[in-house]
Amino acid sequence: MKYQLPEGFIVGASQAAWQTEGWTAKKHDNYVDYMYKQAPNRWFDGIGPTIACDFYNRYKEDIALMPQVGLQANRFSIDWSRFIEDFETATVNEEGAQFYDNVVDEMLAKGVEPMICLEHWELPYELYEKYGGYASKHVIELYVKYAEQVFKRYSGRVKHFWTFNEPGVIPELCFLHGNWAPSFVEPKTAFAWNYGKVVATAKAVKLFREGNYEGKIGTILNLGTVYARSNHPRDLEAKRMAELFNFRFYMDSLVHGIVPQELIEILAENDCALEITAEETAIIAENTIEILGINYYQPGRVKARETQLAHTFFHPDQYFEHYDMQGKRMNPHRGWEIYPKALYDLAKTVQEEYKNIEWMIMENGMGVEGEEKYKNEDLQIQDDYRIEFFAEHLAWLLRAVEEGSNCSGYLVWNFMDNISPYNALKNRYGLVEMDLTQDRARRIKKSGEWFYQMSTTREFELATPLDPELK
């Protein structure tokens, strides 16, 4: 079956500063640099962000490849710790900023729309060490000052600004699960960071509007549609609670301008009270985002808890547990379920429950280990699995668009193989390979050629039907 991209629908890719740039000319650490320095042995093969793709030095070569794989847009993040010299005054580091000027100009010259994300976990480490990161109201003010410098410098040349990428990930994995540095559990800190990022977003949106900056401003959330094991009231309640924590915290706050009252109360009862001021409540209500970015990789499946949690600290998992559905399709390398229809369901939720706000897929992709073994005689990786993955997800998304979803783009993860937190270079996602064995040589994969075809002809073919036949 053939699918066509609607007029104006953008296709592209995403990347992050810390995952691509490397440490050349960096004067300050960001939070992920700290994660690596704290425990390099925990990163796959000990590889961290030190060199990454060396994008800082090779950006021209890389941006030249972007149109060759059909990117109409590329979302990248600015590393706050590189862009700003003095975080208190938000004095720009001219050398760091010049690099981003060059990246923006180079993309524009190559016909690739640059989209800027202000924070893909690159909080300057000093602001964590000194003030505790986003739990501090002062850090929120510093973030807004930094945002202002970015808006001033790039408004006009850049049309999409994103306040955060996946704002909930560091709070959850670092302070709730204790998996990532600093490797301790502090539920109150986790929720304070989440709330802090909501306030920071609302304040940045306010500033953006008051400054009449050109373009749109939004946030990028990692959302997987949540499915209940069954329609038993207890399973449905488990789903409702999983959504409250994993979906509605940010969605209700940023799109409707209301932090869910039920969540505020649960947190207060569990020693995780949010420090909310009346002024912040008003700012959140009046400064909702204009566009929503969604990163989608896998759905959430939950059921009612069968055992009580033995945790001595508060954890949302006390209301639900993961449901391991039989027969689910898996990406074994990443251990994530593959379920493209969730994109359609997600689109419906945004359409029906979130004002049909304009939104885009800002990440979607498949991380695969050992891709070298799929190379043909020209050394090109034959990643048909990735082509199928993209085509299926995009087809479901387009079905939702046909039915009125206000989705205006599909950006994949990612343009070129890069570093992941802790998994480092184990699983590769790129349309372009980065070959570590040959001076990080870049080679377009088969999926890159497919993406180019799809982007330039504005159509693609899907062999497998979206609705499977009964056999």
What is the set of active-site residues?
A: 166, 363
Which one of 71-79, 135-143, 417-425, 442-450 is the stretch in contact with ligand BGP (CB under 6 A)? Answer: 417-425
Alpha-carbon Rg for the chain in angstroms: 21
| In contact, 221 and 295? CB cutoff 8 Å | yes
The interface with ligand BGP within residues 425-444 (CB under 6 A) comprises 427
Cβ of residue 210: shortest distance to ligand BGP, in angstroms? Answer: 29
Considering only residues 420, 443, 444, 447, which one is a binding residue for ligand BGP as defined by CB under 6 A? 420
**Per-residue DSSP letters for 136-169?**
SHHHHHHHHHHHHHHHHHHBTTB-EEEEEESTTH
Considering only residues 367, 409, 430, 448, which one is a binding residue for ligand BGP as defined by CB under 6 A? 367
Structure token digits, residue 283: 């700012």
State which amino acid sits at residue 391.
A
Distance CA(451)–CA(470), nearest Å, equals 31
In which residue are the tokens 């002024």 written?
A: 279
Cβ of residue 438: shortest distance to ligand BGP, in angstroms? Answer: 23
Q: Give the residue with the Cβ less far from ligand BGP, 9 or 162.
A: 162
Considering only residues 165, 189, 219, 405, which one is a binding residue for ligand BGP as defined by CB under 6 A? 165
Distance CA(187)–CA(312), nearest Å, equals 11
Cβ of residue 140: shortest distance to ligand BGP, in angstroms? Answer: 21
The DSSP 8-state label assigned to residue 318 in this structure reads: G
Residue 270, preceding peptide bond in cis (omega within 30° of 0): no
Distance CA(9)–CA(244), nearest Å, equals 31
In which residue are the tokens 């953008």 written?
A: 10
Q: Tell me if 235 contacts ligand BGP by CB under 6 A.
A: no
The interface with ligand BGP within residues 32-71 (CB under 6 A) comprises none
Cβ of residue 85: shortest distance to ligand BGP, in angstroms? Answer: 26
Q: Tell me if 180 contacts ligand BGP by CB under 6 A.
A: no
Q: Tell me if 163 contacts ligand BGP by CB under 6 A.
A: no
Q: Give the residue with the Cβ less far from ligand BGP, 72 or 331.
A: 331
Q: Tell me if 201 contacts ligand BGP by CB under 6 A.
A: no
Q: Tell me if 412 contacts ligand BGP by CB under 6 A.
A: no
Considering only residues 16, 139, 242, 401, which one is a binding residue for ligand BGP as defined by CB under 6 A? 16
Q: Can you say whether the dihedral through the CA atoms of 50, 56, 57, 59 is positive or negative?
A: positive
Considering only residues 30, 225, 295, 298, which one is a binding residue for ligand BGP as defined by CB under 6 A? 295
Instruction: Tell me how crowded residue 179 is: count the other CB atoms within 10 A of its CB.
Output: 13
**Per-residue DSSP letters for 5-46?**
PPTT-EEEEE--HHHHS-STT--S-BHHHHHHHH-GGGSGGG
Considering only residues 33, 186, 280, 363, which one is a binding residue for ligand BGP as defined by CB under 6 A? 363
In degrees to the nearest 10, what's the CA dihedral of 212, 214, 215, 216? Answer: -10
**Count of residues near ligand BGP by CB under 6 A:** 15
Q: Tell me if 386 contacts ligand BGP by CB under 6 A.
A: no
Q: Give the residue with the Cβ less far from ligand BGP, 266 or 411.
A: 411
Under the rule (CB under 6 A), what is the footprint of ligand BGP?
16, 19, 165-166, 169, 222, 295, 334, 363, 367, 413, 420-421, 423, 427
